[in-house]
A and B are shown apart, each in its own frame.
Chain A
């Protein structure tokens, strides 16, 4: 469904992604893991064209995304849930969700359909329904994460890019978020590219994973294999290469 070849992305002079290639099949949950600054968020921003690549191809459902603006990419069916939720704090929960369907108000789709999608989001996250009139800024971290995901779902994505959904959340809430991701995949066949600092949890849920290190992919494989890999452990335990390197 998504095929990425030789992506190179720069932040100013910083070469953040060096020749990264990866792919996702339909309905797959794939996780990108790596230490801070490895390029995980950049990868998501590159796909959603927030920071477009300087070279390489991104093919989504047979279509080259080169040169497309972020809103066009949302329209094609790719939605990003940014790190730190980034909800519109003064607006109500429901208004936040309506904004997620912003592009669709201009289309021919009826409001009735958007209304139905809203109900689906509420069904997925009942807590949002309870707080629909409340200002988003008054929600807890976990609820804001649900709102951010719900807002993305209002654009009806087939590919969901999730950036650190568990960040700063209590374990129980994390479980709830992850359960929702799994439910999305099962019920709607949504494909998910998941960036996580919580590698163990992410790998437990994902079907496959890639390990990024300083802007390069160093490993691809099944979660079980990656979990026991030393490169992965190093990336998370923050151990220096020399400490575990023995000859």
Chain B
């Protein structure tokens, strides 16, 4: 498999850390001078950029949150005059005001290159025909992948989202080899093809680049087996750059974060403390090369863990696990951080399919108790009480060993867990009521 920029992607760690330090210091010098919000934040704690002398000194700096972006709506966080900005994107304002991000001409070039890196890692070459089924617009996804594919020299079909049947027709007629969309839309396409009686093997598709929403390994397997493609994940968020923060290599053992451009940290979402490598926590990112919209310690709210072990693909850049949900979903049970997705993973492993479940947290006396309710399905229905009990005990044991928190597991009637828009209410926390 090709590597787009081996000089950076395979850089020995010692060299990489020097480059990161240089770029971090330059970024801090620029934001301190040009962005009032950062200058105020640093002044508040009596810090000047010169106080950052090593990568670990980054921990002295305050976090940046979505709230800061809203307070400085629309252009307050820009580090260059608007005249130098060649593109403006915005994230959806589902909760309050949207956030606005900008790119200089150089930022667009950086962005194209970073996207080209993970597209190349996924196996895209200049011979490919890339169908982009992300919505073009204020959302960064479509443009990011578009630029990356063009940088590689592939043929881009800017389809935009929606109109599934037309998507399939173009896929057939234009002999699309690479599909870019959300993982859930890939399933929708597979479903529709099934309905229309189209054999996915008759298509030219070979690679899928899926992102913009969290998805599980189970979903990867489903997409791969139904569309007969290699399904790869990539990660990004518009506040940082859009797609191009990290992406799968052919090993599919975690997404390489492009560390020459972004400095990752994992923190405890409750305390803000930086956690040692390998811990599960919230991803915090600092941009190292952005001009228009640099971010210092931006809290992504995405939960993941980092793996610094060398990767068989030859890239030296750290790998992040698939995101395991949002830090806003995190529960603290007996002082342990628990994410619903962790339990989902366990249930998937023992059941073999996505179950409907519900977590009920309560407090008995001073003790937190966790109850996991699972809807009975064919797979886990047993006539014998003895086998039923053995199954429940096995699940309890797995939860205890993975989470470090004991739980009682209960089977409940099918369809007894209330659903909203097809999704079950995953968590009931009675402690807060």
Q: Which residues of A contact B (CB under 8 A)?
A: 3, 5-6, 8, 18-23, 210, 213, 216-221, 225, 228-231, 244-247
Contacts and interface: CB of A to CB of B under 8 A. Distances in A.
Nearest to B82: A246
B81 A218 contact: no
Given A228-B105, A229-B106, A230-B80, A22 B22 contact: yes
B50 A246 contact: no
A225 B106 contact: yes
Contacts of A23: 15, 18-19, 22
Nearest to A5: B21
Given A6-B53, A18-B50, A218 B26 contact: yes
Given A216-B29, A230-B80, A21 B18 contact: yes
A217 B81 contact: no
A6 B22 CA distance: 9
B26 A247 contact: no
Contacts of A20: 25
B81 A228 contact: no
B23 interface: yes
A37 B197 CA distance: 73
A176 B388 CA distance: 87
B272 interface: no
Contacts of A19: 25, 49-50, 52-53
Contacts of A225: 106, 109
Contacts of B19: 23, 220
Contacts of B239: none
- 9 closest A-B pairs by CB: A19-B50, A6-B53, A216-B29, A21-B22, A217-B26, A218-B29, A246-B81, A18-B50, A225-B106
A229 B289 CA distance: 13
Contacts of B109: 225
B396 interface: no
Given A221-B106, A229-B106, A230-B81, 12 more contacts: A5-B18, A6-B54, A23-B19, A210-B22, A217-B25, A218-B30, A219-B30, A220-B19, A220-B23, A230-B84, A244-B81, A246-B83
Interface in B287-339: 289, 291
A62 B289 CA distance: 27
Contacts of B80: 230
A76 B291 CA distance: 38
Given A21-B25, A218-B26, A245 B49 contact: no
B42 interface: no
Nearest to B76: A247
A141 B181 CA distance: 63
A244 B109 CA distance: 23
A213 B291 contact: no
Contacts of A8: 50
A21 B29 contact: no
Nearest to A18: B50
